[in-house]
Structure 1
């Protein structure tokens, strides 16, 4: 498939490292906010993240690397239909083409429903796939507000594709208890109280892993710009350490970052989201270089 290269390039990376054919990494903006049930505006998240990324310094201290030199191309945003199931199909088609071209895909939402399409495409491409979901909410309702593709149902739809592991959870409905798997669900209080859950997370994951990060996994004191903030979330280094250990032991084959709801009066969360993408990519591609 031929892709248009989006002028709002992630990271203001030099042009020589933004060519689709040579790039190892493809950023796919997915500006969809069709099923949000509280604060709306996550469709503005991809542009806010891209705008903020222009202010990043591109050397990563902790990995002693410059991952942008592997090539990071920003694709034209997905034109999302209003219907969430139709949106998932469109995202899947775009993600499938990117993955078939051998790129590492980074989906930028948009609400969390966008993850279903990318995961579906990744499961077609990679055998033995599982999803590692970082989130404040379980998102395992079978249906919500008349739709099976509501943002509150994301992991129920992903479960129909491949296994998943949840980390950072601290809010759920009692109706979700029947789908709760305690071998695969790790609550925020368990992680923050020093419980050694890392080996359990690694054990529950397959070798090929897709990482899905809903930004409300963070505590709202550092990430207030989400549609459904929850107190008691993870801090930056707790999340990074968990991801680092997963990257070390597993093969991360794709990722997304969702639910950024930008606030014009506070751009810091936009930058944090952009930096998170770069930090995770730096870890993943440092491992690829070493191996």
Structure 2
């Protein structure tokens, strides 16, 4: 156990400590954050693989008092160092993917180009490797009794974690905050595209009994048809519909309570930061006008926990890197709040 008797929560953070300036080791921490620096299949702007280091740096500027869980941090939050081999593999395959995406964007047929066929094969194999790596890492942490959060990277990184959770929980639901549905099948022929994460999750992880999406405002006809034919396994709160309900006089509590009712007892929280208003995340890979304010998302998460449902895991993905650290500042504060709510949902003995 960590001796916290000399740790002053009100003083400047010690940057020699771990995330949020906390003095915990992985063994001591209840919540372990697994960084996944992977962005091979992003469709627009890259950079999210390197956002992790910026989030870690800005996290030391956060005041550690959270009125929703004043002493939750005493349970211990810890983030592993990003795996350099994963980052190097991502960098290599990202260059291949950029050439490939540019090729098909100009209407070229990959079947007439051996180099592009080779690149596509390498990218798909690399994505399978990444899925297996995430599964192995998260399964080990879960077996050790840790509460696990993922920090991306792009949204494709979550699939391995879903599979690890499916070995622990017979069934669970997913709450997805996102500007996109991510229900495309093998988008751009990438089997594990960031735009296909929820399609793959629903098809490869039978334990997921329902997907509730919120904030979606950019989607294709195939995704619309998938939702409509899902027999309510996928329930999507489109951004336009939410706004129109606001305009008609409904408040966020009514809509949030409705979302909570659709979720099962065990809930995974998948948070693509582009689900927020892009003024809060201007450098995310695929920004879309509209979206949530950060306090609206946190309110929804609190309502889930207050309902008695259990938060079993989370990811925070698609954070961008710009000329300033603003995206990382927003992300690190959201990460702090989510970690505290994660503890609140799973630990009945709040530390003093």
Is TM more than 0.5 here?
Answer: yes
Measure the CA separation in 1 of the matches of 2:347 and 2:262: 26
Q: Give the superposition deviation at 1:184.
A: 1.0
In structure 2, the partner of 1:184 is: 235
Helix, strand or coil for the counterpart of 2:212?
Answer: strand
Maintained 8 Å contact 2:142/2:148: yes
Maintained 8 Å contact 1:33/1:110: yes
- Where structure 1 has 5 or more consecutive residues not aligned to the other structure, the ranges are 1-6
Aligned length: 280
Change (3 A) 1:36 1:8: farther
Change (3 A) 1:114 1:64: closer
Give the alignment's Cα RMSD to 1 decimal. 1.8
**Residue 218 of structure 2, aligned match among 153, 162, 171:** 171
Measure the CA separation in 2 of the matches of 1:238 and 1:73: 26
Which whole-Å deviations, capped at 9, do the CAs of 1:5-50 have from their partners, x for residues lacking one?
xx78211112xxx122231100111000100111011111211111
Structure 2 residue 185 is the aligned partner of structure 1 residue 142: yes
In structure 1, the partner of 2:296 is: 238
In the TM superposition, 1:89-128 aligns within 5 A as 89-128=132-171
Maintained 8 Å contact 1:132/1:211: yes
Q: Give the superposition deviation at 1:152.
A: 0.8
Maintained 8 Å contact 2:311/2:345: no
Max radius of gyration: which structure?
Answer: 2
Q: Give the superposition deviation at 1:289.
A: 4.2
Measure the CA separation in 1 of the matches of 2:69 and 2:225: 45
Q: Give the superposition deviation at 1:225.
A: 2.2
Q: Give the superposition deviation at 1:204.
A: 2.1
In structure 2, the partner of 1:3 is: none
Measure the CA separation in 1 of the matches of 2:294 and 2:80: 27
Measure the CA separation in 1 of the matches of 2:226 and 2:127: 22
Greater share of helix:
2
Q: Give the superposition deviation at 1:70.
A: 0.4
Q: Give the superposition deviation at 1:203.
A: 2.5
Q: What TM-score does the superposition give when structure 1 sets the normalisation length? A: 0.90
Q: Which moved more, 1:275-284 or 1:104-113?
A: 275-284
Maintained 8 Å contact 1:25/1:71: yes
Q: Give the superposition deviation at 1:287.
A: 4.2
Measure the CA separation in 2 of the matches of 1:13 and 1:199: 34
In structure 2, the partner of 1:41 is: 47
Q: Give the superposition deviation at 1:236.
A: 1.5
Structure 2 residue 200 is the aligned partner of structure 1 residue 157: yes
Structure 2 residue 310 is the aligned partner of structure 1 residue 251: yes
Maintained 8 Å contact 1:10/1:27: no
Which whole-Å deviations, capped at 9, do the CAs of 1:241-284 have from their partners, x for residues lacking one?
11111122210011010001111x22122011011011122223
Change (3 A) 1:225 1:9: farther
Runs of 4 or more above 6 Å deviation: none
In structure 1, the partner of 2:176 is: 133
Q: Give the superposition deviation at 1:65.
A: 0.8
Maintained 8 Å contact 2:269/2:315: yes
Measure the CA separation in 1 of the matches of 2:257 and 2:338: 20
Measure the CA separation in 2 of the matches of 1:107 and 1:244: 19
Q: Give the superposition deviation at 1:158.
A: 1.1
Q: What TM-score does the superposition give when structure 2 sets the normalisation length? A: 0.75
Which whole-Å deviations, capped at 9, do the CAs of 1:85-132 have from their partners, x for residues lacking one?
221111111011111111111100000000111111112112221111
